[in-house]
Structure 1
């Protein structure tokens, strides 16, 4: 693990990042919930970008990886602020976000908040609105009451320690929903989704595809690929998707 640099983000949050200079558009990797910028997909895409002479940025949201703050104190809106702030501060010109899981939601929020800068997008198992559609709607009445009265509950995870889900995350998530109103994506979008993904369903991928207004949006379903989407063939598919979008906009 190499030593990151740090950017002073919103409300004093220190955001760890690695930046690779190169020719634009900037490729920005947006990781998933409780993931970090040292994951397989982020590092592989960085190496690919460096080999191609491409500008690349990976970073940790607050409460993730090597950035400051505690995960359980954060929210979708906080991490959206982090994303906008670090892209504004460290990059110039066109941006192509590559969003994985929760990072797919962050990419869509970025497109709403900086539409003039986004020239294309790639999502990997995108999980828009999951705090409401995935968490809240699946909670039992007992879980909902505990969340509202105690402010948090713990959910088991297939990948790491239990997730601490807070009432603040649920409430804030309702202010960040992208599937409940018009979603205009005026650029090429490539969505990648594994059929063996147990965290994000193909129905979610199809909902995003049908909901968004976009002149060139395509969904690729990859048989038997899981939520990690990080084995050799899947990494190649991510490269191909990024290359395809770049070829369309350059």
Structure 2
């Protein structure tokens, strides 16, 4: 993004009340033309809005004359709240609050990993409110819908099951940072209530999925399964043979920008 490109408005949004209140950090680049879409970034588990892909879509939005919204879930990045309090329902509530606050026109949801799951749940909620016309498209990057039930629970060791039962969480090392991943009993139990791969998913918009076939965290079989649950939508699945989970290499970002351009062009 050049120095003359528009800069996002940085703000904080309070979600919830009482002991459940938390401040969410938001970066909002308003759309110059309200008729053009706003890109809404929904990040992954333990990622934040300063990540490579999030920053790249904001730069692309500025260059293309689109709006963009990035934010951190509670317990992530610059937002308040404790990470261990996080659940899909809690982060979904925050996502919908940010959309309500920052997006008035059409939007393209861009969900990465867990953000793909939250994007699907957000669309379900918006459609239930009668706001389906606002959803212009959905771009998913290594989406992980139902990952607690699909990927975590089937692989639990006996030690991890005991830890969940006795202390309410377990930890596992991650190659993405020095701190271990933490998975709580609340996250897993709440995940069962938010499953989307239980029947037909209707988004009512075009969908483009970018999935690496060398992804060590979310197997590409899950992307294929998701496609099977989207029979009524116009779905494009791009499998990247040597792609990892992050899909943040220059070539990957080029594919992401092209997917967004195709979505905007209709």
| Whole-angstrom distance in 2 between the partners of 1:28 and 1:10 | 21
Kindly indicate whether residue 143 of structure 2 is the aligned counterpart of residue 126 of structure 1: yes
Residue in structure 2 matched with residue 74 of structure 1 by the alignment: 86
Q: Does 1:21 align with 2:3?
A: no
* 1:60-139 to 2 correspondences below 5 Å: 60-115=72-127, 116=132, 117-139=134-156
TM-score (norm 1): 0.95
How much has 1:233 moved relative to structure 2?
0.5
Q: What residue is the counterpart of 1:238 in the other structure?
A: 256
**Separation in 2, partners of 1:195, 1:203:** 9
CA drift at 1:141: 3.0
Cα separation, 1, equivalents of 2:57 and 2:163 = 41
Unpaired segments ≥5 residues, structure 2: 1-7
Q: Distance in 1 between matches of 2:37 and 2:66?
A: 8
Whether 2:192 is the aligned partner of 1:174: answer yes
Q: Which residue of 2 aligns with 1:215?
A: 233
Does the C-alpha gap of structure 1 residues 114 and 3 become closer, same or farther in structure 2, counting only changes over 3 Å? closer
- CA 1:103–1:171 in structure 2 vs 1: closer, same or farther (change >3 Å)? same
TM-score by length of 2: 0.90
Which whole-Å CA distance do the structure 2 matches of 1:146 and 1:199 have between them?
22
* SS of equivalent to 1:114: helix
> What is aligned with 2:15?
9
Helix, strand or coil at the partner of 2:203: coil
CA distance in 2, matches of 1:207, 1:19: 33
Aligned residues of 2:9 and 2:28 also touching (Cα < 8 A)? no
Which residue, out of 196, 212, 219, partners 1:201? 219
C-alpha displacement of 1:91? 1.1
CA contact (8 A) 1:30 1:97 kept: yes
Alignment coverage as a number of residue pairs: 247
RMSD: 1.4
Contact kept, 8 Å, 2:202 with 2:233, in 1: the verdict is no
Q: Which runs of 5+ in 1 are unaligned?
A: none
Q: Which runs of structure 1 show a deviation greater than 4 angstroms over 4 or more consecutive aligned residues? A: none
